[in-house]
């Protein structure tokens, strides 16, 4: 019995660590993680009454529909998403508009887009 207890404890500990790791790697959630960033840094120009480039960033559906230059997102492929490209090259938000997207926020947006199922 004494030999089994340490093995059982180790198995429980490893199972708990795997669960924590899986939760840490869960994709960002639009409502909880992404939308607050957009509300703070994007929607003043891309939502509501003002829609620069005819892009509305208040919903995922609106971003997939896109604006003047097409869809803002390519589900499953952040590298081919116009939104990421414009943020990466610091074209959005415009230089005179603060606050800017942080590197951590940009990485979170990449993870969010890459986690989307590609329906093409």
Which residues, 6+ apart, have CB-to-CB distance to 49 below 8 Å?
Answer: none
In a domain, 36, yes or no: yes
For the whole model, what pTM was predicted? 0.77
- Give the number of other Cβ atoms within 10 Å of residue 118's Cβ: 9
Structural domain of 109: 28-115
- Is residue 83 situated within a structural domain? yes
Is residue 89 domain-resident?
Answer: yes
pLDDT digits (tens, 9 = 90+) for 47-106: 988 999 999 999 999 999 999 999 999 999 999 999 999 999 999 998 888 899 999 999
Cα maximum dimension of the chain: 70
Tokens for 54? 């005819």
Number of domains into which the chain is organized: 1
């Amino acid at each position: 019995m004494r030999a089994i207890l340490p093995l059982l404890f180790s198995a429980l500990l490893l199972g708990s660590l795997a669960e924590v790791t899986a939760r840490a790697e869960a994709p960002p959630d639009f409502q909880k993680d992404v939308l607050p960033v957009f509300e703070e840094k994007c929607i003043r120009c891309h939502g509501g009454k003002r829609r620069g480039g005819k892009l509305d960033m208040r919903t995922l559906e609106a971003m997939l529909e896109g604006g003047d230059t097409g869809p803002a997102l390519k589900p499953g492929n952040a590298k081919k998403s116009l939104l990421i490209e414009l943020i990466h090259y610091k074209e959005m938000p415009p230089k005179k508009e603060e606050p800017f997207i942080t590197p951590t926020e940009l990485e979170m947006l990449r993870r969010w887009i890459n986690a989307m199922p590609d329906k093409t």
